[in-house]
Copies of this chain bind each other. A is one copy, B any other.
Amino acid sequence: MNTTVADTAALPMATRRRLLIAAMSLFNQYGFAGTSLQMIADELGLTKAAIYYHFRTRDQLLMALMDPVQREIGSVVDAAEAQRGARARAEAMLAGYASVVARNRALTAVTTFDPSVRGVLRNHPLWNALIDRQLALLGATQQGTQATLYATMVLTGMAGAASTAPADLDDDALCRQLIDAGRRTLDLRGPTPKR
């Protein structure tokens, strides 16, 4: 009996999960703007009504994909801001971001680079604030107007490298390489803080 109840309860969740996975793959292939709910339904052999049961709009689906990553980035930013010193804050942000993008490569490509996704995210004040806080943390050890440029280079560069990394490069190895490259860009190498 218990098993039957659990199975029945699990079914809608399994569909929701399959939906999100199919959507992410189509977003990566055709762009967010180029993917209709109908295409997602077709991909899974579902009716559009079955999709509507879970998500009323494509934007809702996108935000459901983004939600766990947004919360994770939020925790990384909070923890990094709690560090003492600009260098420790930049290091913490760098390591946390590298870990998130290494473990979420497909989603990273969609959220960082797709113009139509950026259009949706732009309307979410929390997401915009998070990006500004990430840039401030990563640029903390840099001087002047170049700080934001270096920080943007690290965020977009790490996202680009993660989302095109070979599938056989495991998450930990990728994460280490991203941190190494980011530390170079931000001039964070060496044991002694330079600034």
Q: Does A75 have its Cβ within 8 Å of any Cβ on chain B?
A: no
Residues of B within 8 A of A154 (CB): 157
- A164 in contact with B181 (CB, 8 Å): no
Q: Do residues B181 and A149 form an inter-chain contact, with CB atoms below 8 A?
A: yes
In the complex, what distance in Å separates the CA atom of A146 from the CA atom of B174?
Answer: 9
Most buried by B among A109, A156, A159, A184: A156
Is A15 in contact with chain B by the CB < 8 A criterion?
no
A94 to B34, CA, bound (A): 33
Q: How far is the CA of A194 from the CA of B156 in the complex (A)?
A: 27
Asked whether any CB of chain B lies closer than 8 Å to the CB of A160, the reply is yes
Interface residues on A, range: 35 or more
Contact partners of A29 in chain B: CB under 8 A:
115, 119
Given known pairs A165-B149, A185-B185, the reply for A113 and B113 (CB within 8 Å) is: yes
- Tell me the residues in window 151-181 of chain A with beta carbons closer than 8 Å to chain B beta carbons: 152-161, 164-165, 169, 174, 177-178, 180-181
Query: Does A33 reach chain B (CB closer than 8 Å)?
Result: yes
- 4 shortest interchain CB distances as A-B pairs: A33-B34, A156-B160, A157-B157, A113-B113
Binding site for B on A (CB under 8 A): 27-35, 109-110, 112-116, 119, 145-146, 149-150, 152-161, 164-165, 169, 174, 177-178, 180-181, 184-187
